[in-house]
Structure 1
Amino acid sequence: MTPAAPADLDELSKLMAMAFQSDPPMQAAMGTTDPAVMVERGPWLFRGLLNGGAIQAGTVDTIREGQQIIGAAAWYAPGHHGPTIPGLVTHARDFHRALGTGGMVRALKIEAEMAKYRPTTPHWYLHAIGVHPDARGQGVGAVLLDHRLNQADRAGQPAYLESSTARSGNLYRRHGFQPMRRIQLNERAAPYSMWRPAAQ
């Protein structure tokens, strides 16, 4: 397990775009369900998101196979609830390349809706976790979760995330997350907010 560095940004962005090409909330933000478009434009979106937040904070965990990143998890530490507006504005060019002008407005509305459900109690927030398609089913996601959640448990800190698929929801339940509410973004995208209490 190694923290991502700014030099990893391009590889990380491509990995996340592949991992999220069929994710309903991400498709809602991108305004398309076409996997090819998601893979083509998605890296620009993740480049802006990661560079505007977690990668600068040093809370993007990676698993590598040789020199290749096969899994990554972007977290925000307690007290930080996601990318900041100044951070996002700084990388507006990346977002525009991914979304276009109208899409940027749509994505900001989706982000604002999801932010309404995030608890105000200080917590670790899992912003995104992705595994390379060739490495799925090998426990990479579980290792990524265990790494940061063990740290949270030692510090007595809770954690929060949004789960957009049944498969990811099952993984998160196995790691102690409990469903809270459904966030209805559109007819296809309705992720669950999930909370993991602090260890006693």
Structure 2
Amino acid sequence: MPTVTPASRADIDDLARLLAQSFQFDPPSRAVLQPSDDQDMLRRAFYLFRAMLASGPIEAGLVDTIREDGRILGVATWEAPGDTMSSSVSSYVKHVPDYVRAIGWAGLPRAIKIRMQIGRHKPGVPAWYLHAIGVHPQFRGRGVGSQLLKHRLDLVDADNQPAYLESSTSLTGRLYRRHGFQTLRPISITEQAVPYAMWRPPTDQR
């Protein structure tokens, strides 16, 4: 039976590849990376997620994976309340080459602007933040995403804490609502990329 386990640094490339596949057609991600075609999107997203994973969350125990017979079926990356990917500035600087491979020097101002747009909609109180979740294409529709969410949200509920995320498709929105998230407001990035801010209150407010 698939089990949820924490990721390790040895998993980084596999996880980045899985997340790149999951976000290949994600409108906000494409707005940030602006690929020339679908293969270019996979390449750019791989470097983006590799840099993100390597810059702190794995060491902090904030990357959950589901495995079966040693194979990774899905991954979820979180930020803890008051954290920022558990990364220092020096850690981000160390991974600048991968960020540049993903976005390009010319694309950095665009990426920063979009990140600021998204950041303005984050709650003004400490909350768990789902940064990214992805399931291997061969295992979609089998409850992998739900199992990943439940694992972390059970821990969140045990501490009576809230959670927050952005949903970029109606499919993911339905998944998150099943797990207690409420739609707050749209976040306008481009005409094609309009994710929705979603909030899950702490247990004592439900």
TM-score, with length taken from structure 1:
0.95
Secondary structure in 2 matching 1:75: strand
Q: How many residues align?
A: 200
Larger mean CA deviation between 160-169 and 34-43 belongs to 34-43
Counterpart in the other structure of 1:92: 96
Larger mean CA deviation between 160-169 and 26-35 belongs to 26-35
Matched, 1:79 2:99: no
Matched, 1:18 2:18: no
Counterpart in the other structure of 2:188: 184
> C-alpha displacement at 1:59, in angstroms?
0.6
Go from structure 1 to structure 2 and tell me whether the alpha carbon gap of 1:27 and 1:85 turns closer, same or farther (over 3 Å shift): farther
Question: In the aligned structure 1, how far is the partner of 2:36 from the partner of 2:76?
Answer: 23
**Contact 1:158-1:195 at 8 Å conserved across structures:** yes
Counterpart in the other structure of 2:123: 119
Choose which of 47, 56, 63 in structure 2 pairs with 1:53. 56
Question: In the aligned structure 2, how far is the partner of 1:85 from the partner of 1:105?
Answer: 21
Counterpart in the other structure of 1:143: 147
Larger mean CA deviation between 105-114 and 161-170 belongs to 105-114
Unaligned runs of 5+ in 2: none
TM-score, with length taken from structure 2:
0.93
TM-superposition CA deviations, 1:47-71 (whole Å, max 9, x none): 1111123223111000012222110
Counterpart in the other structure of 1:164: 168
**Contact 1:18-1:133 at 8 Å conserved across structures:** yes
**Contact 2:60-2:86 at 8 Å conserved across structures:** no
Secondary structure in 2 matching 1:57: coil
Unaligned runs of 5+ in 1: none
2:40 corresponds to which letter in structure 1? Answer: V
Question: In the aligned structure 2, how far is the partner of 1:158 from the partner of 1:114?
Answer: 18
Kindly, what percent of the aligned residue pairs are identical?
50
1:190 corresponds to which letter in structure 2? Answer: V
Larger mean CA deviation between 123-132 and 99-108 belongs to 99-108
Aligned Cα root-mean-square deviation (Å): 1.4
